[in-house]
Amino acid sequence: MNFELFVAKRVSVKARRTFSRLIVIIGITGIALGLAVMISAFGIVTGFKNTIRDKMVGFTGHIQVSRFDLNTSFENTPVQVMDTAGNLRIKPEDFPGVKTVQVFATKPGIISAGEEIEGVVLKGVGPHYDWAYLNEHLLTGKIPSYSNDSLSENILISQTIAERLKLEAGDDLLMYFVQEPLRRRKLHISGIYQTGLEDLDKLYVIGDLQLIQRLNNWGKTQAGGYELFIEDISRLDELTLEVHQNVDENLQAYSVKEIYPLIFEWLSLLDMNAIVLLILMLLVAGINMISALLIMILERTNMIGILKALGADNFRIRKIFMYNAVYLTGIGMLIGNIVGLGFCFLQDGYHLIGLDQTNYYVDYVPVDLSLLSVVLLNCCTFIVCVLMLIIPSMIVSRVSPVKAIRFK
């Protein structure tokens, strides 16, 4: 029998003293709440970052390649995106890690609907455009179909633009393009989408790439640039540099972080907030256990004196209280995992907590947890708590047997 472990159990969960039980409950509750909050906070921060990032990437691609010039407007300088055989000049197989390449072009315009007008940007896409992202965010209507044979007048507009112009799926509208001479096109609303990203929703209309090619007198092999989608987001900077170094010298590669720097800088601040929260919760949990252990040592002063009088050395007595603390920490961590993971699973499945999509870009609190992150949080909590408990356990060595036995 492990003598120290046996005594530790007797003075913790099996203790008959009401005050001891209260201290045990407080210690376990502190650990459980601390770990539950850390798991929930880490899952929410990770989920929020991944959700916003995926929304940005879904609309613009991980990497955009366009003409390298001083043009900062939405009016693209043409790029020769296809060769004479009709094949893309930049292909996924050219860059290991790139899974999809598609072409696009943008052109500013003004929508006129009844007495309402709105300045927008028409984003032209081709027949091989991946509609998965917009299909996921489609509210009404249907996704338009484009081909190389004929020009389509079907477009997608956002719910934000539709509300401002009082339009619905199936309506027609006039779009004016400011150029010489002024061009006007009648377009049909095939569907209405809403990504939740206000900067995109209030600006972009999705239409046929051929419309922009005709308006700009481009050939069918010309477009505004490429959108590249990669397999591993952690390689974004590396692949952006690789693409930039291997495309024509008149082209420039931009990562999504460079295209929308303010949003990604804002997301990076969440990492610091999460780190501060984790440190604070670890300190609170550790200090809570230190307080509990000190009170338990104080309450068991008589027992310490008796054990010393019977021949137990300081190390064995310290082990009793360390076993006790580790035991309580383990119970608290088990409860904390159940509460924290339970909340994350419920929130991920049922979206119990909502958000204002106008301010937060999502209409619910997203959660994203990995097994590795949960394991690391548990390991950090356990290690920090145990290390912080070493110092109060050293008080045992300063207890005098004679005074301890007389202590009441």
Q: Give the tens place of pLDDT for each residue, 353-366.
A: 998 888 888 889 99
Q: 298 lies in a domain?
A: yes
Q: 228 lies in a domain?
A: yes
Burial class, 405, CB count within 10 angstroms (exposed 0-12 / middle 13-18 / buried 19+):
middle
Can you give the pLDDT at residue 267?
A: 85
Mean pLDDT confidence for 219-248: 95
Is it the case that residue 20 has pLDDT exceeding 70?
A: no
Is it the case that residue 256 has pLDDT exceeding 80?
A: yes
Can you give the pLDDT at residue 270?
A: 83
- Helix then strand then coil, % of the chain, to nearest 5: 55, 20, 25
Q: In this structure, are 198 and 238 located in the same domain?
A: yes
The structure tokens listed for 386 are: 């145990």
Question: How far is it, in rounded angstroms, from Cα 131 to Cα 221?
Answer: 21
For residue 45, how many other CB atoms are within 10 A of its CB? 21
β-bridge mates for residue 228, sequence order: 63, 101
Q: 60 lies in a domain?
A: no
Q: 348 lies in a domain?
A: yes
384: amino acid identity, one letter: V
Q: In this structure, are 205 and 345 located in the same domain?
A: no
Q: In this structure, are 244 and 278 located in the same domain?
A: no
Number of domains the chain is built from: 2
Q: Which of 189, 218, 248 is where one domain is finished? A: 248
CB 364 within 8 A of CB 351: yes
Is it the case that residue 12 has pLDDT exceeding 70?
A: no
Q: 257 lies in a domain?
A: no
Q: In this structure, are 184 and 133 located in the same domain?
A: yes
Mean pLDDT confidence for 265-284: 84
Q: What pTM was computed for the model?
A: 0.83
Can you give the pLDDT at residue 276?
A: 86
Can you give the pLDDT at residue 406?
A: 61
* Confidence bin at 245 (pLDDT 50/70/90): very high
* Confidence bin at 28 (pLDDT 50/70/90): confident
Q: CA triplet 253, 242, 91: central angle to 5 degrees?
A: 75
Can you give the pLDDT at residue 163?
A: 94
37: amino acid identity, one letter: V
Can you give the pLDDT at residue 310?
A: 75
Question: How far is it, in rounded angstroms, from Cα 405 to Cα 367?
Answer: 54
For residue 304, how many other CB atoms are within 10 A of its CB? 26
Q: 63 lies in a domain?
A: no
Can you give the pLDDT at residue 403?
A: 60
Q: 256 lies in a domain?
A: no
The structure tokens listed for 352 are: 């119990």
Can you give the pLDDT at residue 104?
A: 96
Lowest mean pLDDT among 77-86, 115-124, 164-173, 217-226: 77-86
pLDDT by residue (tens digit) across 370-395? Answer: 999 999 999 988 988 888 877 777 77
Mean pLDDT taken over the chain:
87
Domain that holds residue 153: 69-248
Q: In this structure, are 44 and 74 located in the same domain?
A: no
* Confidence bin at 24 (pLDDT 50/70/90): confident
pLDDT by residue (tens digit) across 282-318? Answer: 888 888 777 777 777 777 777 777 777 777 777 787 8
Q: In this structure, are 34 and 74 located in the same domain?
A: no
Q: In this structure, are 278 and 367 located in the same domain?
A: yes
Q: In this structure, are 146 and 106 located in the same domain?
A: yes
Can you give the pLDDT at residue 397?
A: 63
Residue with the bigger pLDDT between 144 and 9: it is: 144
pLDDT by residue (tens digit) across 31-72? Answer: 899 899 999 999 999 999 999 999 999 999 999 999 988 777
Determine the 3-state secondary structure of 130 from DSSP.
coil
Q: In this structure, are 162 and 223 located in the same domain?
A: yes
Q: In this structure, are 242 and 281 located in the same domain?
A: no
Mean pLDDT confidence for 114-143: 94
What share of the chain in percent tops pLDDT 90? 56
pLDDT by residue (tens digit) across 178-205? Answer: 888 889 999 999 999 999 998 899 999 9
Question: How far is it, in rounded angstroms, from Cα 169 to Cα 141?
Answer: 5
Q: 9 lies in a domain?
A: yes
Mean pLDDT confidence for 228-257: 94
* Confidence bin at 408 (pLDDT 50/70/90): low
Can you give the pLDDT at residue 293?
A: 76
CB 111 within 8 A of CB 194: no
Q: In this structure, are 274 and 196 located in the same domain?
A: no
Please report which residue ranges of 209-300 form alpha helices under DSSP H. Answer: 209-215, 236-246, 256-259, 261-299
Q: Which of 221, 248, 275 is where one domain is finished? A: 248
The structure tokens listed for 278 are: 């984790």
Can you give the pLDDT at residue 15?
A: 55
Mean pLDDT confidence for 319-324: 80
Q: In this structure, are 300 and 374 located in the same domain?
A: yes
Length of the chain: 408
Residue with the bigger pLDDT between 396 and 222: it is: 222
